[in-house]
Amino acid sequence: MNLKKFLTLALAFTLVLSLAACGSKGDDKTDDTTDQTMTAEELNAKIQELADKENAIMEEDLELWQKLFAAMNEKRDELAQESNYGTYLLDGIELVKDQFTDDEIKTLTDGAEKIRDIEDEIQPLQEQYAALQPADDGNADTEGQAFPAFTGKDLDGNDVDSSLFSKNAVTVVNFWFSGCSPCVTELSELNALNEKLKQQGGAVIGINTDTLGGYADQISEAKGILEKKEATYQNIYFDSDSDAGKFASGIMAFPTTYVVDRSGNIVGEALLGGIDNEDNMATLQTIIDQVLASDSAK
């Protein structure tokens, strides 16, 4: 009988504790709002909103902007480093204006000026956001860490190594495996993202963990799935005993997506879940935008 009472008490206690544990997350948030003017999430949402505005400006005349980026890319060495992306664009327009008509230059300049103003708004927000980050979560384990080095091949047999990050301003690394239904579902979205990032100096890289170690049947299965989903971006594999292989085998939820900058460092936390989910895509886009902005500022 005493045992029963004890168990009842212990259980009630555990329940109370678990409820308290669930409640604490909410409490933290309210604390944040009183201490700070905006919580990290609000800041993030605001930054995202402004970034969306910038994107909207470009989307109005997407082809024209793409033409500009292509032209600027050729003269990238002549461009000075500029912390404001809008100013950077204005410099770029100035540099390549002979390739455009006056009307086009006017549209581009107007757009770039608007972007410059929006960037001026974003930058203090990003600083606040960055200041909040370390306090936000103690265990951001991969944030800022270098993506482990590797040498391997892509699924078509071409050699690749970790220097591939340096070719792009931003690289989205997606870990998946052939038997993972949500992973396969998002392949088409990842392919669309890759097409979009190409224009902005970025790329998507897929890593199918079944193929690590280079098993021929696993590779052909992965290729089959990619073909079915019409995903054409590069998928790579490396030795499962390598640092990157161990890193990959440490991933316990799929799909997991990382954003890596030009210097090969992971930016932001691992994103768990498919980007066919709007919230996940928004989170990923925010990180991509941050990396693109800081890369163009360099």
Partner 1 sequence: MDSKKPFSPLLARWRGLVQACAALLTNLHLPNFFKGELYRGAGKTVCVPGLNCYSCPGAAGACPIGAFQAVVGSSKFQFSYYITGILILLGVLLGRFICGFLCPFGWFQELLHKIPTKKLSTKRLKPLTYLKYVILVVMVFLLPVLVVNEAGLGNPFFCKYLCPQGVLEGAIPLSLTNAPIRAALGKLFSWKLCVLVTVVVLSVVFYRPFCKWICPLGAVYALFNRVSLLSMQVDHNKCISCGKCARVCGMDVDVCKTPNSTECIRCGKCVSACPTQAVRFRYGFDRGGAYSKLSQKTTIDERKGD
Instruction: Note the residues at the interface with partner 1 (CB under 8 A).
Output: 3-4, 7-8, 11-12, 18, 21, 137, 139-140, 178-181, 184-185, 225, 228-229, 252-253, 256, 269-273, 277, 279-280, 283
Beta carbon nearer to partner 1, 58 or 225:
225
Q: How far is the CB of 150 from partner 1 (least distance, A)?
A: 21
Contact between 159 and 239 (Cβ < 8 Å): no
Answer whether 183's CB lies under 8 Å from 274's CB.
yes
- Choice between 124 and 138, CB closer to partner 1: 138
**Closest approach of Cβ 236 to partner 1, in Å?**
20
Over its C-alpha atoms, the chain yields an Rg (Å, rounded) of 23
First to last CA, the chain: 72
Closest distance to partner 1 from the beta carbon of 252 (Å): 5
Beta carbons of 125 and 46 less than 8 angstroms apart: yes
Smallest separation (angstroms) from partner 1 to the CB of 139: 6
Which is nearer to partner 1, 100 or 215 (by Cβ)? 215
Judged on CB neighbours under 10 Å (0-12, 13-18, 19+), 143 is middle
> Least CB distance from residue 204 to partner 1, whole Å?
18
Cα–Cα dist 164/146, whole Å: 14
Which of residues 61 and 221 has its CB atom nearest to partner 1 in the complex? 221
- 159-161 β-sheet, strand order: 159-161, 151-154, 235-238, 202-208, 170-176, 256-261, 266-272
Of 184 and 203, the one with the shorter C-beta distance to partner 1 is 184
